Amino acid sequence: MNKSLYTVATFVRINTKRYFRDKLAIFFTVGFPLIFLFVFGSFNSGSGGVSFRVAFINESQTAVAKDFVKKAEASGVFKVDDSASTLDKAKELMTKSQLDAAIVLPKDFGQVKNGDTFPSGQAKVIYTQNNAQSGAALIAVMDSQFKVINGKLVTIQTPFTVKGEELKQKSLSPFDYTFAGLLGFSIIGMGIFGPVNVFPELKKMGILRRLSTTPLKVWQYFLSTMIGQAAIGLLALGVMFLFAITVFHLKIIGNWLELAIFLVMGIVMILGIGLALGGWAKNERQAAPLSNIIVFPMMFLSGTFFPRFLMPEWLQTVSNFLPLTPVIEGIRLISTEGKHLWEITPQIGLISLWAIVIYIIAFKVFRWE
């Protein structure tokens, strides 16, 4: 084997062993992003359907009323609070925002009135001023349900109708956006905070100074760090994918190999920032403030925790050119829209451009002590 490559392989092995011996590094690389995954996944991984917290006050003893309540509870649209057995109790819960509304079925609900051949009745939806929007939506939902029931009892001609058409496209769920951003957050942790924490410590211990007296070149040290971090990064991200798929039912549409290649590109590019900061800083007091100045704008403006389309247009334009933005956008395009690498050339081009600039700076500012 070529001596240069043998040196690189040796330091890949050394850096990898150092990582797996550092419990704190493992926590911040794997454990910390998983905590965010479970927190944000719990918020955003729901089915996206509409549901209302309600109490059913059934004053009617008819079979129609009982059947309606039973079907409403089974529909999933209503989250029924059984503790509110009276209207007064329901009103108390509504004032505490524990209920969206109370649905009252009066005594004559479901009875066959004089001259009629079918049962009838009028349900009442009671809600507070603060929940007026939920109340209006709930009335619309119940009206549509009653129309279905009415259609079975009475034949009605409808001159005007509406028809739905499903697009042969899939839209992103809230969790799809969140997960891609969390991968970006994890890549930042591995690529920037890793070298920023390790390099100053190695300088303080005099390890890098001793390495500088050997034939080891800066490019060999950088390359070994890049390879080691890419392998560790794929392993850490793989754990996140495993939990996202098994716990939150994430569906990956794109090609796994292409996604892995793109993730390595993102890890290597972001790692350059960490190498530049860690290689330049003499100690933690220099590295920490500068890394925070660089990291926090990327975390909040690159779509890490919420979609960028919610930002003002001028801020979206600015955030387009942040290093982390093309990484997160590329992950979303591949994983959720099934794009191929040749279809995301703008993101790959921006990552490549940033990588060239960042590594030129990293080589220029790196110092062994």
Length of the chain: 369
Q: What is the pLDDT of residue 346?
A: 92
Provide CB contacts within 8 A for 281, sequence distance 6+. 196, 199, 200, 287, 290
Token duo for residue 90: 């329901």
Q: What is the pLDDT of residue 166?
A: 47
Q: What is the pLDDT of residue 212?
A: 72
**From the CB of residue 239, how many other CB atoms can be counted at a distance below 10 Å?**
17
Identify the helix (H) or strand (E) that includes residue 53. strand 52-58
Do residues 50 and 137 touch, judged by C-beta distance below 8 A? yes
Reduce the DSSP state of residue 174 to 3 states and report it: helix
User: Any alpha helices (H) in 75-190, and if so which ranges?
Assistant: 87-95, 132-153, 174-188
Reduce the DSSP state of residue 124 to 3 states and report it: strand
Q: What is the pLDDT of residue 202?
A: 74
pLDDT averaged per 10 residues, the chain (length 369): 72 77 72 75 56 83 83 79 81 79 85 76 83 79 77 63 50 69 84 75 76 77 82 85 82 87 90 83 73 82 77 85 90 86 92 92 80
**From the CB of residue 357, how many other CB atoms can be counted at a distance below 10 Å?**
13
**pTM of model > 0.85:** no
Q: What is the pLDDT of residue 348?
A: 93
Q: What is the pLDDT of residue 176?
A: 67
- List the beta bridge partners of residue 297: none
Please report the domains of the chain, with CATH numbers, ordered by start residue. Answer: 3-45+173-365 (no CATH), 52-153 (3.40.1710.10)
Provide CB contacts within 8 A for 272, sequence distance 6+. 191, 354, 355, 358, 359, 361, 362
